[in-house]
Structure 1
Amino acid sequence: MGSYTVAKVTFRVQETDPTRAGCSSLRCELSEVLLDPAVVTAVFFVALGCFAAFAYVNEARSCCREERRRVADERDAFAEFADRVAGLSPTDATGHEDAGNGPPSADGAPANAGGAIRMQSGRRVDSGWDRDLERVVGAYRETVTAVPHYEEEYDDTVAESLAEELGYDTAVATVSGKTLSSGLQSALVTRSRQARANRVELIDAIDEELDALDDAEATLSTIDRERRNLLDHLEGVSRAVTFDAAIDVWTRLSQLEERCEDAVESRQDQLRDPPMETDDGPPLYEYLYSSLSETSYPVLAQFSQLADGLRADRRRIESRFVTPE
């Protein structure tokens, strides 16, 4: 995973944009939302069959829940790290050498920014490192880099993670400095708490998306239930009134398809106005659904699939309109 401002993930972003103007019909969604159009065109609904489980929405929900768990683990890890660093007693600047160990200079670079971060597996390879800095690195290793998914998703060294999450200047001062100054301690605590806040914001956005998925599934279930009731009704009428019943069911199925169209437009509005914005990261929905195998827009794909089934039902009913000569 990754949060918008601090994470290190590259996502596969679709070339097509289902939020753009002029792409509101389900026919458009069928051609652009699904990576493999055969997924939709192969769907065939028999008259008495039940609509299959809403696979796209269910898979999307699983992605969101897993991502939420990972983000929550990182939120808690940064909170614990910040608390542990805040509990240390930094060295006063007077009377001690503070090489590369204070807050960044006016241009944002640490005092020893010209040197490399000399650290392997979380241990300094030179001498003169004080115990407080060792405790800082140990705390980071035991919190942030100890989250269950860290190796799978990041697999960075402690130094690399510090630089990515809390800034290169802070990382250099931590792993290449001599002492834990009050300036460095403050930077570590402040930036760790900001990293936590970023993840809290992301969790809120994921929760909003989970609610949206629940709403979408409720709408899908209602439309599909009405569809199946109509088809059951048509199967139960006598042959003498089949033509009139078929006309009525055909019309009401068309209305259900229009409700799918409305749901697609509503979802497109959500895609255009996500609950969380980012300046330099991927949009929320690509971030959440990049790992899906068939589409990065599962809600659109699900309504498109259902609408395709409704059209297939109407085509079969049309055969009842032909009366023998």
Structure 2
Amino acid sequence: MHRHVVAPVRTARDLLREEREQVAAERAAFRRFESGVEDLSLPGSTSTGPSGVPSMRTTTLSTSVGGSSDPLAAVRCVYRETVMAVDHFGSVYDESLAEHLASELGQDIATGVVCGGPSTFTESFRETLLGAARTARTSREGLIDALDVESAALDDADRTLRDIVEAADDLRGTTRSGPLPARREDDGPECPCTRLAALQERCETTVTDRQRRLGDPVVDSHSLDGHALCRYLYHDADWTYPVLTAATTLADDLTALARTLDCEE
């Protein structure tokens, strides 16, 4: 029995690892964006540091775009240099500033940031902008929690399925060492057919447990259930449910092995 039957789980682990790295980078980028917006001065005001002198970071941010004192120009600059500067932005999103602002923070905020003038950047607008950015960040924190749960589940499934494959290979080897003894009613736990039945039960349990979890929320901090998470993570793969795909293939191989060992009733 070849170990390729568990390949979907291995591939899923690689896809999940890449996704987690990207989501973590986006979470950090939104945190930096929030910090940059918090440091911006409102029109007609001057932010000061602890010593009462103008904040160097605020001064730098508010004049970073062609020397402009327009805080929205600085917001656009900070967004480009943080959220839109993650390594995977072009391959995953490939959106304009206005498009990405709208998808992440909402159309009203995007319109204000892109089309508004200096007077648009009021305390109320800043708080709304920061609230939307925090929501985008915390959503990714919840998604990371969900990805970590899925990662642990994939690790468990990978170990279980590989153990079954190795044990089945050992059983298959018994057919090459000579004819099997005739089956008896009192065959003990070391009987090849008894061992195979135990492997089939483990495989069925893996399928049942995975199916049961798919309909439940992955974590309390995120609304994704198992089905939605699998569609989100594995949409580019040849399968949507890697554990079920691998376990079903393995179950078919075990059934074929049962025929080889003459274990079928």
Q: TM-score normalized by structure 1?
A: 0.66
1:24 corresponding residue in structure 2: none
The answer to whether the aligner puts 1:82 opposite 2:34 as a matched pair is yes
Cα deviation, residue 255, structure 1:
2.6
Q: Please give the secondary structure, in 2, of the residue aligned with 1:242.
A: coil
Cα deviation, residue 220, structure 1:
0.8
2:156 corresponding residue in structure 1: 215
2:70 corresponding residue in structure 1: 131
Alignment partners' CA distance in 2, 1:266 and 1:71: 27
The answer to whether the aligner puts 1:58 opposite 2:3 as a matched pair is no
1:285 corresponding residue in structure 2: 230
1:204 corresponding residue in structure 2: 145
2:98 corresponding residue in structure 1: 159
2:21 to 66, 69, 72: 69
2:253 to 290, 302, 309: 309
* Structure 1, unpaired ranges of 5+: 1-44, 94-122, 124-128
Whether contact under 8 Å (1:78, 1:195) holds in the other structure is: yes
Alignment partners' CA distance in 2, 1:51 and 1:139: 49
Deviations 1:285-325 (A, max 9, x none): 211111112x1011001111111111111112229x9xxxx
Cα deviation, residue 171, structure 1:
1.4
Cα deviation, residue 200, structure 1:
0.6
Larger RCO, structures 1/2 (Cα 8 Å, 6+ apart): 1
Alignment partners' CA distance in 1, 2:230 and 2:134: 25
Q: Sequence identity of aligned pairs in percent?
A: 38
Alignment partners' CA distance in 2, 1:92 and 1:300: 61
Q: What is the 5 A alignment of 1:1-325?
A: 45=1, 50-52=2-4, 54-91=6-43, 130-179=69-118, 180-236=121-177, 239=179, 242-244=181-183, 248-276=191-219, 277-278=222-223, 283-293=228-238, 295-318=239-262
Cα deviation, residue 230, structure 1:
2.4
Q: Please give the secondary structure, in 2, of the residue aligned with 1:235.
A: coil
Alignment partners' CA distance in 2, 1:177 and 1:283: 37
Whether contact under 8 Å (1:51, 1:224) holds in the other structure is: yes
Whether contact under 8 Å (2:193, 2:258) holds in the other structure is: yes
Cα deviation, residue 91, structure 1:
2.2
> Which residue identity lines up with residue 208 of structure 1 in the other structure?
V
Alignment partners' CA distance in 2, 1:92 and 1:185: 15
Alignment partners' CA distance in 1, 2:198 and 2:72: 67
Cα deviation, residue 53, structure 1:
6.1
Alignment partners' CA distance in 2, 1:178 and 1:226: 69
Change (3 A) 1:234 1:244: farther
> Which residue identity lines up with residue 229 of structure 2 in the other structure?
L
Alignment partners' CA distance in 2, 1:263 and 1:53: 14
Change (3 A) 1:174 1:52: closer
Alignment partners' CA distance in 1, 2:13 and 2:70: 45
The worse-fitting range, judged by mean Cα deviation, of 81-90 and 284-293 is 284-293
Q: TM-score normalized by structure 2?
A: 0.80
Alignment partners' CA distance in 1, 2:242 and 2:5: 13
Whether contact under 8 Å (1:130, 1:178) holds in the other structure is: no
Whether contact under 8 Å (1:83, 1:189) holds in the other structure is: no
Whether contact under 8 Å (2:5, 2:249) holds in the other structure is: no
Cα deviation, residue 166, structure 1:
0.9
Whether contact under 8 Å (1:77, 1:144) holds in the other structure is: yes
Cα deviation, residue 278, structure 1:
3.3
Cα deviation, residue 242, structure 1:
3.3
> Which residue identity lines up with residue 219 of structure 1 in the other structure?
T
Q: Please give the secondary structure, in 2, of the residue aligned with 1:318.
A: coil
Whether contact under 8 Å (2:70, 2:117) holds in the other structure is: no
Cα deviation, residue 149, structure 1:
1.3
Cα deviation, residue 234, structure 1:
4.3
> Which residue identity lines up with residue 234 of structure 2 in the other structure?
Y
Q: Please give the secondary structure, in 2, of the residue aligned with 1:83.
A: helix
**Regions of 4+ moved over 6 Å:** none
Cα deviation, residue 175, structure 1:
1.7
> Which residue identity lines up with residue 80 of structure 1 in the other structure?
R
Whether contact under 8 Å (1:92, 1:182) holds in the other structure is: no
Alignment partners' CA distance in 1, 2:158 and 2:91: 31
Alignment partners' CA distance in 2, 1:63 and 1:167: 29
